[in-house]
């Protein structure tokens, strides 16, 4: 804020247009999170959240000035800020693997890590969930083997990679896996609390290193150099929808917090064909009233009224007698 506004700017001089121009200036600024030697023009611009955070101090100053009677209105109130749809982890509108490409990419991965990516392809786990799996989370001896998602890996400041709780209770789920995959996972004998996939020294694997050293070469050779960990998750969602699974079923499989989030994230995977026109429903029910004593009395009264209008003498009925 101090970089943008002139030093002698008074709060009373700030108007809505100046605030909007400040926001416009922010969205054009480059982030300092790029590589040190990377050219400034090649760096990404500030994220939407960074822009919103940069506006908060100005909005707070103006709100305080208004509360203390220094200005009549807060010109930052209602300012338009950039806002992207909320995503979970790295879930973006990435495209799934083309048909057969995922299996080809997995087959090209080094055999040391191939089983891990086979499990990723079968489940669509988040990478943080995949790398946190322990042997006790694999249920492989039943007729319907499955994997329990109970924790995740995250990077903690000052500590590096650590295992912790899931991001939300919705991420806690059990996912079925193919029997042949379960048989190969069973061969990885280890203590119940040992990591299923770990480094040579037994420590947590770094997802970024895996992407650069393992996934990217194989994906490039398969013709999908753009693919990342989330591409497997996106492909799993695509195949679930192709099988006719409901939105709620896909939401629970992926561990989303709501079906609406699943639709917003994967709506482009849904079939856009509206299908055949709706056929009109034919009423097959009889329009004749049931023959009851009450209906017979009413019918007799209606008949008598019609005869009176036509000048006929109504005949006494058995019911009337």
Domain ranges of the chain: 1-84, 101-269
Return the H-helix or E-strand segment holding 17.
helix 16-27
Contact 250, 260 (CB under 8 A): no
**pLDDT level of residue 321 (50, 70, 90 thresholds):** very low
CA geometry: angle at 98 spanning 94 and 102, to 5°? Answer: 90
DSSP 8-state symbol, 144? S
Secondary structure of residue 147 in the 3-state scheme: strand
278-292 pLDDT, tens digit per residue, is 667 666 555 565 666
Q: What is the pLDDT of residue 91?
A: 47
pLDDT at 286: 56
* pLDDT score for 94: 66
Among 150-159, 174-183, 213-222, 270-279, which is the least confidently predicted range?
A: 270-279
Buried b (16+ CB within 10 A) or exposed e, 295-320: eeeeebeeebeeeeeeeeeeeeeeee
Each residue's pLDDT tens digit, 134-159: 999 999 998 999 999 999 999 988 88
Task: Name the CATH superfamily for 101-269.
Answer: Intergrase catalytic core (1.10.443.10)
Tokens of 110: 């080094």
pLDDT digits (tens, 9 = 90+) for 76-91: 887 888 765 444 444 4
pTM over 0.85: no
Q: Where are the alpha helices (DSSP H) in 222-284?
A: 229-242, 247-254, 259-266
| CB count in 10 Å sphere of residue 48 | 13
Tokens 């499990």 identify what position? 119
Q: What is the mean pLDDT of residues 290-305?
A: 65
């Amino acid at each position: 804020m101090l970089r943008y506004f002139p030093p002698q700017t008074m709060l009373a001089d700030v108007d809505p247009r100046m605030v909007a121009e400040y926001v416009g200036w922010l969205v054009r600024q480059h982030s300092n999170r790029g590589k040190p030697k990377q050219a400034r023009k090649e760096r990404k611009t500030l994220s939407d959240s960074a822009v919103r955070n940069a506006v908060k101090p100005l909005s707070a100053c103006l709100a305080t000035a208004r509360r203390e009677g220094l200005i009549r209105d807060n010109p930052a109130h209602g300012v338009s800020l950039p806002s992207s749809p909320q995503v979970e982890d790295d879930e973006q509108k990435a495209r799934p693997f083309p048909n057969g490409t995922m299996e080809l990419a997995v087959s090209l991965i080094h055999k040391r890590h191939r089983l891990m990516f086979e499990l990723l392809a079968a489940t669509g786990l988040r990478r943080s969930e995949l790398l946190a799996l322990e042997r006790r989370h694999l249920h492989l001896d039943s007729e319907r083997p499955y994997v329990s998602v109970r924790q995740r890996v995250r990077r903690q400041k000052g500590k590096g990679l650590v295992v912790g709780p899931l991001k939300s209770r919705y991420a806690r789920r059990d996912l079925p896996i193919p029997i042949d995959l379960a048989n190969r996972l069973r061969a990885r004998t280890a203590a119940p609390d040992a990591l299923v996939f770990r480094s040579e020294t037994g420590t947590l694997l770094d997802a970024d290193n895996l992407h650069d050293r393992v996934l990217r070469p194989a994906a490039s050779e398969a013709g999908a150099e753009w693919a990342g960990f989330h591409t497997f998750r996106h492909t799993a969602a695509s195949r679930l929808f192709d099988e006719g699974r409901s939105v709620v079923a896909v939401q629970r499989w992926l561990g989303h917090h709501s079906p609406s989030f699943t639709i917003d994230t994967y709506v482009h995977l849904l079939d856009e064909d509206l299908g055949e026109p709706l056929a009109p429903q034919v009423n097959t029910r009889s329009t004749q009233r049931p023959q009851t004593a009450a209906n017979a009395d009413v019918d007799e009264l209606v008949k008598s009224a019609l005869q009176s209008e036509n000048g006929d003498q109504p005949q006494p009925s058995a019911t009337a007698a």
